[in-house]
Amino acid sequence: MAIRIYNTLSGKKEVFEPVESGKVGMYVCGPTVYDSCHIGHARSIITFDVIARYLKAKGFDVTYVRNFTDIDDKIINRANELGIDTRVLTDKYIKEFYEDMDALNVERPSIEPRATDHIDQIIKVIDKLIEKGFAYIIDGDVYYSVELFKDYGKLSGRRLEDMEAGARVDIDKRKRSPFDFALWKSSKPGEPTWDSPWGKGRPGWHIECSAMSTEYLGETFDIHGGGKDLIFPHHENEIAQSEAAFGKTFVRYWIHNGFVNINQEKMSKSLGNFIVLKEMIKHYHPEALRLFLLSKHYRSPVDFTDDAMNEAVAGLDKIYSLLERIEKQFGQVSGKDKTLDVNVFGGQFCLAMDDDFNTALGIAALFEVVRNMNRLLDENKNSFSQDVEDKVHSGWADILKMAAILGILNESPEDYFAKKRSTGLEKKSINSEMIDKMIKERIEAREAKNWARADQIRKQLEDMSIIIEDRPEGTVWKVKS
């Protein structure tokens, strides 16, 4: 089944045909490493993590490149404020970035280039642009002349004439057009600097992505992704640079994810409402964040609220509860089969994913399997025929395969619920030994058929936000979230 992708360039869904059959080259703009990641970064990263996982599962040989922007005005400013070397700063935030990614169960891309490790490649591309007449040098700075690239604006759908009306762009009289952007910036005292044919300086932002994507994926590659906010000017400029320098189509499919809002407000540093990943992970299971984000289409805006997150937590609990139920009945799944034969499992899930990576619809398919499994187990409480057991095993395998693409259900149900209990207790400062003692007393009361006493204890526990479940195999408890 063919995959269809919404291409920002055409504004339509198109059938995905890679440059080279069976292979996919994919480049996604990674973070500028001068501060902690927030949930907006998480959305972009998780969106493309799932896309890469799915393409791999479909059998493509995927080369996934995600860069680190580690030289930039914000980085220099922050390093100066702290009085440290930019490399010390960027190393620190790259390390933190990896901690966050691991916590979110994000797979590592194939290649993660840093801009400062690719100065030679960057200089070569700039050189080519100067040679072809698309770039000009002023006082050691090199600018790209947007008016000379006839397709300028084709990605963002704007024309230079229109933009000039309401432009809020610095007027730099030396530039030919106010929209000309820097390919190379001459260095000021105290800034990190590299030698170049135009004097000491550092690369501009846009050129690094043109240089690094081409270096690893070739002059034309399949997929380029990033947040919607990068469409203009960043990706527009990448196209201008790469297509002018190499004279070829730069990227075949442009994919852009929507924003995360917080309580219906745009998340921004100036509003002070951005949520740092490290903080959010303290309150919610990372997989609940994945489930929450993937429950909406990747191109739509999503509104982050505690209510919405708690719904995602409830959904995740439901799936883990089923896994726990199955494992209690049938034992551990054999070695957690992660081989993803997408042509066999969850037909509905694959159809959804084939249609522009519709994870929301895919998750609906996942929940339907969950309900079917629960029903099957309910209907066969006492005896399991071989037929039923086979059905359970196949549904179970399907769930795990879908989950592997969504990047959830990475823990055993026991660990998941145990962790949930302990963090829940921590939050409410309750002692688990006391709970165990009360539950033991309640079990004794129940055995003596002293229902009044048993219910009294249950009420006491409930007042402490502890919910009791008397299952056939024994009593378990949960912390109400």
Partner RNA sequence: GGCGGCAUAGCCAAGUGGUAAGGCAGCGGUCUGCAAAACCGCUAUUCACCAGUUCGAAUCUGGUUGCCGCCUCCA
Site for RNA, residues 206 to 225, rule: CB under 7 A: none
- Per CB under 7 A, the segment of 26-34, 104-112, 238-246, 421-429 that binds RNA is 26-34
CB nearer to RNA: pick between 7 and 44: 44
CB nearer to RNA: pick between 56 and 228: 228
Rule CB under 7 A: choose which of 108, 132, 248, 375 binds RNA: 375
CB nearer to RNA: pick between 129 and 294: 294
The minimum distance between CB 21 and RNA, in angstroms, equals 27
The minimum distance between CB 435 and RNA, in angstroms, equals 15
- Helix H, strand E, coil C: the string for the chain is CCCEEEECCCCEEEECCCCCCCEEEEEECCCECCCCCEHHHHHHHHHHHHHHHHHHHCCCEEEEEECEECCCHHHHHHHHHHCCCHHHHHHHHHHHHHHHHHHCCCCCCCECCEHHHCHHHHHHHHHHHHHCCCEEEECCEEEECHHHCCCCCCCCCCCHHHHHHCCCCCCCCCCCCCCCEEEEEECCCCCCCECCCCCCEEECHHHHHHHHHHHHHCCCEEEEEEEHHHHHHHHHHHHHHHHHHHCCCCEEEEEEECCEEECCEECCCCCCCCCEHHHHHHHCCHHHHHHHHHCCCCCCCEEECHHHHHHHHHHHHHHHHHHHHHHHHHCCCCCCCCCCCCCCCCHHHHHHHHECCCHHHHHHHHHHHHHHHHHHHHHCCCCCCHHHHHHHHHHHHHHHHHHHHHCCCCCCHHHHHHHHHHHHHHHHCCCHHHHHHHHHHHHHHHHCCCHHHHHHHHHHHHHCCEEEEEECCEEEEEECC
The minimum distance between CB 458 and RNA, in angstroms, equals 7
CB nearer to RNA: pick between 6 and 198: 6
The minimum distance between CB 83 and RNA, in angstroms, equals 22
String of contacts with RNA for each residue 287-306, x by CB under 7 A? --------xxx--xxxx---
String of contacts with RNA for each residue 73-92, x by CB under 7 A? -x------------------
The minimum distance between CB 61 and RNA, in angstroms, equals 25
Rule CB under 7 A: choose which of 191, 311, 389, 411 binds RNA: 311
Considering only residues 84 to 143 of the shown chain, the ones binding RNA according to CB under 7 A are none
The minimum distance between CB 15 and RNA, in angstroms, equals 15
Considering only residues 320 to 349 of the shown chain, the ones binding RNA according to CB under 7 A are 321
468 binds RNA (CB under 7 A): yes
The minimum distance between CB 25 and RNA, in angstroms, equals 19
The minimum distance between CB 204 and RNA, in angstroms, equals 10
395 binds RNA (CB under 7 A): no
The pairing of strands 12-15 and 4-7 is antiparallel
Rule CB under 7 A: choose which of 105, 193, 273, 374 binds RNA: 374
CB nearer to RNA: pick between 32 and 86: 32
Considering only residues 227 to 286 of the shown chain, the ones binding RNA according to CB under 7 A are 227-234, 257-260, 264-268
Whole-number Cα distances in Å, 192 to 49, 68, 185, 203, 257: 32, 17, 11, 11, 33
String of contacts with RNA for each residue 155-184, x by CB under 7 A? -xxxx--xx-xxxxx---------x-----
CA distance 56 to 58: 5
CB nearer to RNA: pick between 129 and 479: 479
Rule CB under 7 A: choose which of 287, 290, 358, 466 binds RNA: 358
Q: By CB under 7 A, how many residues form the interface with RNA? A: 82
- Per CB under 7 A, the segment of 40-48, 110-118, 327-335, 432-440 that binds RNA is 40-48
Considering only residues 428 to 467 of the shown chain, the ones binding RNA according to CB under 7 A are 446, 451, 454-455, 458, 467
